[in-house]
Structure 1
Amino acid sequence: MKLPPRPLAHEEHGLLLGQLALVLAPQARSLPVAISVLLVLLMGWRWLLWRQRAPLPSRLMLGLIAGLVLLVAVALVWQAGGNMGRDLSVALLGAFVVLKLLECRVLADATLVTQLCFYLLLSLYLFDQPFWLALYSLAMAAWLLRNWLFLGHPEARGHLAVWPLLGRLTLTGLPWALLLFVLFPRLDRPLWQLPQAETVAATGISDTMNPGSVSQLAQSTEVALRADVEGGPLPAGALYWRALVLWQFDGQTWRPATLRQRQAIPAPALPAADDTAAYGAGQPGTTAGMPLASGTVNYSVTLEPSQHPWLFLLDRGQAIAPGAGAVVNADGEFFAREPVERRLRYRARSAPAAAQPLDLQTRQLALALPAGNPRSRALAAAWAERYPDPAERARAALRLFAAAPFSYTLSPAPLGREQIDSFLFDTRRGFCEHYASSFVFLMRAAGVPARVVTGYLGGEYNPIGGNYIVRQADAHAWAEIWLEGRGWVRVDPTSAVAPSRVERGIDAALAASEIAALRAMREPGWLQDLRWGMDGAVYTWQRWVLQYDRGQQARLMRQLGIGDSLPQTLLAGLAMLSLLALLPLALKRRRADPVQAMYERFCRRLARHGCVRAPSEGPQDYAARAARTLPAAADTVRDFSERYIKLRYSRLPPALRATELAGLRQALRRLARLPPAG
């Protein structure tokens, strides 16, 4: 005979409502606003029904609501150009789980809602994977398991300690998880690409530069990259994170030379070495853990998604880890083969570039100028006539910026049609792109090959995490000039008008009102220490968990002295897993029921007083005989026996069971004070 479905109690409805609310809460970071509002309304309605103990809506009402949800979804798909996308798919799953909760009446419905909550919890990882989400999802998974157990077995509430049970299961599975994590790293690329509902906006440095293009990033505290530099912090003047070289100028905008970017070759690869050891080990004049000689620096970069293919290396990049799959051109620009759409970690090496001759085509490109800006041309021509040495012409331009009333600001006056003339002779207020652009123009007009370079300058050193944090606000533009016998030489004209920009960062060079958000982040005090600690935890999570791939695994194996014996390590790991699987069985000991354990102690204590229990003697007969044998303890023996029989053979409510257990312990303690038998 089939049993009727068990209806849910009022408290169980509240439990389901609470767990779904906690699972859906983190989804607010990514769900479409319209769906989020709809989910909040539906959850609020369900809460009111539960609070007032009102009946659940009819199937007709639920059908109308489901139709409304589908209409909203269709509208969002149409708005996204027909692309269902990841965000909307997860949103619809959440909406229909809420609808299922609105018709949840029996145990089977509650079980389905709980199972779907696990899927919603997993969907959080489709967007991002911060370390707090791992802790949150672990706690929520444990709570869902607890609720699922109590839904299926309500009687377990008074008889089973759930949290210790879940703790033991976690400790049992933890070695398995750690070993599998170490032995089977993440794939270098995902097996499939999830469709996006809309194109993700590109962030950070652009491939063009005009007045305002760099300064608009100065207000952003968003992290662009993090870097570990071997040997500790570097001097401030060495923290130029190079991205792009801009050659072509049309009077308004600087652009790269597309043909030169296409002439790229596979980037020189670093040797297979751990990023915490000296990459130059074995080379003359090097020491483990210290930068190489001749200004060579080794470091690791964790680049945030930018939707651009260019990579950032310290000026000048020489080699990059082969796992990055990068290419490099003659201008020292490093590119990934595809736009960086997910967090990317790579090791790199930078060193001073060797001087090379300048071919005729590159010289012509480095001297090309558009028509216009006559005043700037006349000034540069005067320098060319006065200073035969090109380096002296560059110093003349820097003296101009340092002596004239130029100012470094995020709010310059609008420039006229002749941008360079307008800036140099009229407004004299600008950001780094103004100074780099005008300097390169002057150098070219003076006959000195020059080009613009964009990237980041500086970075906040986190003494707790031991790494640099480079933000979008650190975006910068500088110049390079070509000098005979020296090659391309970096010149930062911003340092002439605002030397503190190079020495102490952008927040030291600008007024507090211009970068209030960035200045507030870098104020000293315990809040900054807390922020450094949090950032260090985030970076450690990214480095050793989210970015644990085959390269990280190989470096870890070398650190452990395993080297290239990965197959043997896999076999040993699988053997260890097998032993771990058998270990719980070998160590398993049946946990005695606390009531039975106390009864056995009761029998042992009576035996020490000469009253030994016969194997076939029941608890009631044994207690009667012990009371006659030990009249001084008769009341205690009977009290213990009665409580034991209740706990052992009766189904008691949880509160009464706890009371009887406490009385049983007290009776056993009183019996312990009985004088030993003479």
Structure 2
Amino acid sequence: MTARATKTTKAPPRPLGHQEHGMLIGQLALVLVPQARTLPVSISLLLLLLLGWRWLLWRQRAPLPSKLMIGVTAMLVLVIAAALVWQAGGSLGRELCVALLAAFVILKLMETRALADATLVTQLSFYLLLTLYLAEQPFWLALYSMAIGAWILRNWLLFHHPEARERLAIWPLLGRMALFGLPWALCLFVLFPRLDHPLWRLPQSEPTGRMGIGDTMKPGSIGHLIRSPDVAFRADIVGDPLPASALYWRALVMWEYDGQVWRLDTNPPLREAPSLVDEGDEGAAPLAPDVREYNVTLEPTHKPWLYLLDRGVAISENLGARSSADDEFFARTPVERTLRYRAQSTLGGAPQPLTRRTLRLSLALPEGNPRSRALAADWAREYADPWQRVQAAMRLFASSPFAYTLSPPLLGDQQVDSFIFDTRRGFCEHYASSFVFLMRAGGVPARVVTGYQGGEYNPVGKHYVIRQSDAHAWAEVWLQDRGWVRVDPTSAVAPSRVEDGVDAALAGEEIGALRDLRAPGWLRDIRWGIDGLTYRWQRWVLDYDRGQQQRLLELAGLGNQLPSVLAVGMAVLSLLALLPMWLRRRRVEPVQALYERFCATLARHGCTRGVSEGPIDFGTRAATALPRAATAVRAFTDGYVDWRYGLANGDADQAARSAARLRAALRELAAALR
């Protein structure tokens, strides 16, 4: 009895070679290395231990662990994860999710023996590569991930086509693929409709301990920030750079004082912050001479207050920010990621009225500090003009032995008296607090303002870098016909603090870390270059939103034609994508293209043509290796040799007939191989 159909048997999975196992371990290690910057140290050590175990097995050519051993290890990983979740109060954070994925990819690598397993590990490596962007997205990470992504693609190609190592120039091929996709990526990035806010909000981890301006001020609260070189925010100002003495970045206004700590107004009236008018709008009016426009890129603070130059006038509308009568600006939610906003501020401004409520707040004082009260009373009797009392306090601080230092002596219970009459050594918060106390005791309305002062100007990126070390506290007094006037008592005792920065005002051993950071010479130039690149990456890539997209179109004279421009761009790119195929068809003769298909078909069945192997030798070897298709292989080879060495220079009709015979032989070959 003759069988109607031949039963096909499934080919056994191709086992991986020793070198291919090493490629998998290497690519996974390269993907996991940058994760160490965001994962906790304990989790990073666990992943290092698992990956090191797999590497030792590969290095010693030892057999892979049994399924029981892998299962026990997986349960141990889950127990450790559960313990970390319990320690975090039941929160399964982003870092732990990424760590679990990485751990189980390594465990999958422990049982990888065949090509299908290698394919799965390679695909999961791409997912792990994408998780690098969940925390932050610096420019170096984009370069690193593209390089590692290209390496993974190269490995993937070699896993499935080992013959490609001899037959293809793999890196030039990947380079051509990248160049082919680059115009599409640029077109979609620039023209695809943008949103004002992320499409979804990623789950955030618990806020890490970040230094920054707080909502209270006491001796030492500003001083401890000075020791940190971390960047607080960056700002680029439209127009000419401003002198350092004009760079007062306002954060919060402190009204209430209990003798120890300054605090915010407990119930400040807030309103919707004035919104900026875009430059392209018809209603946009020229800026007043004393108004400056600028952009701020604020690092995550986990706090809602924003930093504006001097007295803010307006801020980006998409923030939905609120502002107070004291020129404080607040975001709707705490700043959990890098935030960029545009703002306008006035460096002068009209006098502000003093309401009954603010008068009461600006003169309130706690009990105590009798010597300071007596000094302020003497000034009030001697000077009828409040501004003269301000000048008297500034002369006091400018006189010896008052000194500016990061290591002031401890103050007594009567802090103001202890500072003014005993220790006379302190930081900006000591001087601002004592000055405001003296003014209030002398009948002059006054308040404390905290924020940042100064900043380094980056000539490469043409922007200011404001660090935590630029944290500062100053005072404001209310004067008739002038409103709230800024007075910086620190400038009396250390003028260089305002003009040249904090590192110019302190002794060498107190600010050594910042002196090293701001060292001159070629290291400084390199640092400015990296900082400028980081800032521009943040501005033009990470913060490229709908507003910037619209301004770019207006600059190109395209206005509100985004859909049309996107459609035309995609159409042009589609036509350009067909151009290489059309050129290749014109360059390759039809019969030669059929021979390339013939070689590719045989390669898929394990018979790869050598680089220098002629068609007759290759056909003979293929017929021997694939006996079920031997007749079709010989027929195609004979027809190709006749054309190649006999009819290649013949007329077009002969070439067409040869191509037809070869196509028929190619169909017979495909049927025989099936």
| TM-score, length of structure 2 as denominator length | 0.85
Q: In 2, distance between residues paired with 1:294 and 1:647?
A: 85
Of residues 31-40 and 326-335 in structure 1, the stretch that sits farther from structure 2 once superposed is: 31-40
Q: Deviations over 1:34-63 (max 9, x none)?
A: 222121112112111111111111111111
Q: In 1, distance between residues paired with 2:124 and 2:285?
A: 57
Q: In 2, distance between residues paired with 1:303 and 1:185?
A: 25
* In the alignment, structure 1 residue 436 sits paired with structure 2 residue 437: no
Of residues 424-433 and 195-204 in structure 1, the stretch that sits farther from structure 2 once superposed is: 195-204
Structure 2 match to 1:217: 225
Q: In 1, distance between residues paired with 2:621 and 2:126?
A: 34
| 1:61 aligns with one of 66, 69, 83 | 69
Instruction: Flag the 1:537–1:197 CA change in 2: closer, same or farther, 3 A.
Output: closer
- How far did 1:293 drift? 5.0
- Match of 2:112, SS? coil
- How far did 1:103 drift? 0.8
Q: In 1, distance between residues paired with 2:613 and 2:115?
A: 35
Structure 2 match to 1:340: 335
What amino acid is aligned across from residue 334 of structure 1 in structure 2?
Answer: F
| 2:375 aligns with one of 353, 372, 379 | 379
Instruction: Flag the 1:186–1:509 CA change in 2: closer, same or farther, 3 A.
Output: farther
- Match of 1:218, SS? helix
Q: Deviations over 1:279-310 (max 9, x none)?
A: 99863xxxxxxxx5532211111111101111
- Could you tell me whether the CA contact under 8 Å between 2:233 and 2:467 is conserved in 1? yes
- How far did 1:577 drift? 4.1
Of residues 42-51 and 487-496 in structure 1, the stretch that sits farther from structure 2 once superposed is: 42-51
* In the alignment, structure 1 residue 37 sits paired with structure 2 residue 45: yes
Q: In 2, distance between residues paired with 1:265 and 1:509?
A: 39
- Map 1:159-238 onto structure 2 (within 5 A): 159-184=167-192, 186-238=194-246
What amino acid is aligned across from residue 297 of structure 1 in structure 2?
Answer: R
Q: Deviations over 1:102-124 (max 9, x none)?
A: 11111111111111100100111
Instruction: Flag the 1:448–1:3 CA change in 2: closer, same or farther, 3 A.
Output: same
Q: In 1, distance between residues paired with 2:259 and 2:572?
A: 68
What amino acid is aligned across from residue 468 of structure 1 in structure 2?
Answer: Y
What amino acid is aligned across from residue 347 of structure 1 in structure 2?
Answer: R
- Map 1:34-433 onto structure 2 (within 5 A): 34-184=42-192, 186-260=194-268, 263-273=269-279, 283=286, 294-351=289-346, 352-433=348-429
Structure 2 match to 1:460: 456
Identify unmatched segments of 5+ residues in structure 2.
1-8, 594-611, 623-674
Structure 2 match to 1:496: 492
Q: In 1, distance between residues paired with 2:357 and 2:207?
A: 38
Instruction: Flag the 1:202–1:52 CA change in 2: closer, same or farther, 3 A.
Output: closer
Identify unmatched segments of 5+ residues in structure 1.
284-291, 598-641, 653-678
Q: In 1, distance between residues paired with 2:397 and 2:512?
A: 26
Q: Deviations over 1:408-461 (max 9, x none)?
A: 111100000001001001111111000000000000000000000000000000
- How far did 1:589 drift? 4.3
- Could you tell me whether the CA contact under 8 Å between 1:80 and 1:197 is conserved in 2? no
Q: Deviations over 1:556-579 (max 9, x none)?
A: 122222223333333333433443
What amino acid is aligned across from residue 323 of structure 2 in structure 1?
Answer: V
- Could you tell me whether the CA contact under 8 Å between 1:407 and 1:429 is conserved in 2? yes
Q: In 1, distance between residues paired with 2:43 and 2:587?
A: 50
Q: In 1, distance between residues paired with 2:621 and 2:432?
A: 84
What amino acid is aligned across from residue 21 of structure 1 in structure 2?
Answer: A
What amino acid is aligned across from residue 119 of structure 1 in structure 2?
Answer: Y
Instruction: Flag the 1:46–1:505 CA change in 2: closer, same or farther, 3 A.
Output: same
- Map 1:643-654 onto structure 2 (within 5 A): 644=614
Instruction: Flag the 1:222–1:157 CA change in 2: closer, same or farther, 3 A.
Output: same
How many residues are treated as equivalent by the alignment? 594
Q: In 2, distance between residues paired with 1:545 and 1:338?
A: 23
- How far did 1:404 drift? 3.0
What amino acid is aligned across from residue 30 of structure 2 in structure 1?
Answer: L
Q: In 1, distance between residues paired with 2:110 and 2:161?
A: 23
| 1:477 aligns with one of 461, 469, 473 | 473
- Could you tell me whether the CA contact under 8 Å between 2:249 and 2:307 is conserved in 1? yes
Instruction: Flag the 1:379–1:115 CA change in 2: closer, same or farther, 3 A.
Output: same
Structure 2 match to 1:538: 534
Q: In 2, distance between residues paired with 1:650 and 1:155?
A: 19
Instruction: Flag the 1:60–1:165 CA change in 2: closer, same or farther, 3 A.
Output: same
- How far did 1:155 drift? 1.5
Q: Deviations over 1:345-368 (max 9, x none)?
A: 111111122113212221111000
Structure 2 match to 1:609: none
- How far did 1:324 drift? 2.3
What amino acid is aligned across from residue 336 of structure 2 in structure 1?
Answer: E
- Could you tell me whether the CA contact under 8 Å between 1:279 and 1:298 is conserved in 2? no
| TM-score, length of structure 1 as denominator length | 0.84
- How far did 1:192 drift? 3.0
What amino acid is aligned across from residue 392 of structure 2 in structure 1?
Answer: A
Of residues 571-580 and 86-95 in structure 1, the stretch that sits farther from structure 2 once superposed is: 571-580
- Could you tell me whether the CA contact under 8 Å between 2:235 and 2:294 is conserved in 1? yes
- How far did 1:338 drift? 1.1
- Could you tell me whether the CA contact under 8 Å between 2:211 and 2:225 is conserved in 1? no
What amino acid is aligned across from residue 443 of structure 2 in structure 1?
Answer: G
- How far did 1:648 drift? 6.2
Q: Deviations over 1:235-273 (max 9, x none)?
A: 11110001111100010111111322xx22111122112
- Match of 2:122, SS? helix
Q: Deviations over 1:536-569 (max 9, x none)?
A: 0111100000001111112212222222333333
Of residues 75-84 and 354-363 in structure 1, the stretch that sits farther from structure 2 once superposed is: 354-363
What amino acid is aligned across from residue 384 of structure 2 in structure 1?
Answer: P
- Match of 2:217, SS? coil
Structure 2 match to 1:636: none
Percent identical among aligned pairs is 67
- Map 1:634-649 onto structure 2 (within 5 A): 644=614
Q: In 1, distance between residues paired with 2:84 and 2:471?
A: 36
- Could you tell me whether the CA contact under 8 Å between 1:304 and 1:344 is conserved in 2? yes
Structure 1 match to 2:605: none
- How far did 1:490 drift? 0.2
